[in-house]
Structures are given as C-alpha cells and as structure tokens.
C-alpha cells in the first residue's frame, strides 16, 4: 500500500520533535479511525486511533484532502 503524503511541517517539525510517533500509526488512523471530524474553521480533518504503546488516543490531522498528514499528537482529552 502506498504511503500517504505528508506536509513539510509534519516531516520537519512534528516527526523531528515527536520521534516516538510512528508513521504507520498515523496511516492507520487516517485509513481506519475510530472517529473522524472535520475542523469547522479550515476543513482539515481529525482522525483518532487508540495506540497501545502510548496508552493513549492519537489524534492525526490531515489537510482538507483527507489524505495529507499534517499533525499528530497524543490526545489526553479525547473520549470516544
């Protein structure tokens, strides 16, 4: 399966600063999220997935195309 595209910001900042975040987690979140929400202000899309290794939900934000990964971080406040 082809890797999803990523933004320069995700490559140069998010993955650099949060090296524990695995690209495959982000891909799984986008492809099979437990919830998906469109951000009202910009059309970017939030996807959540449970990550056992983090013992947390991971939020992955794509651009409005729903494919290009732009941000990802453990979401302490997410409740499914």
**Number of chain residues interacting with another protein (CB under 8 A):** 21
- What count of other Cβ atoms lies within 10 Å of the Cβ of residue 72? 25
Residue with the two structure tokens 């983090």: 54
Of 8 and 24, CB closest to another protein: 8
3-state DSSP call for residue 75? strand
Q: Smallest distance from the beta carbon of 13 to another protein, in angstroms?
A: 4
> At residue 57, what are phi and psi to the nearest 5 degrees?
-80, 140
Of 3 and 42, CB closest to another protein: 42
CA distance 13 to 35: 25
CA distance 57 to 42: 23
- The reply to whether 79 sits near another protein by the rule CB under 8 A is no
26-45 footprint of another protein as x/- string (CB under 8 A): ---------------xx---
**Residues of this chain that bind another protein (CB under 8 A):** 7-9, 12-14, 17-20, 41-42, 59, 63, 70-71, 73-77
């Amino acid at each position: 399966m082809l890797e999803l595209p990523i933004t320069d910001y995700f490559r140069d900042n998010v993955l650099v600063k949060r090296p524990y975040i695995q690209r495959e987690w982000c891909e799984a979140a986008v492809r099979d999220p437990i919830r998906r929400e469109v951000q009202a202000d910009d059309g970017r899309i939030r996807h959540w997935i449970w990550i056992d290794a983090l013992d947390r939900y991971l939020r992955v934000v794509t651009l409005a195309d729903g494919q290009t990964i732009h941000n990802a971080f453990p979401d302490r406040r997410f409740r499914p």
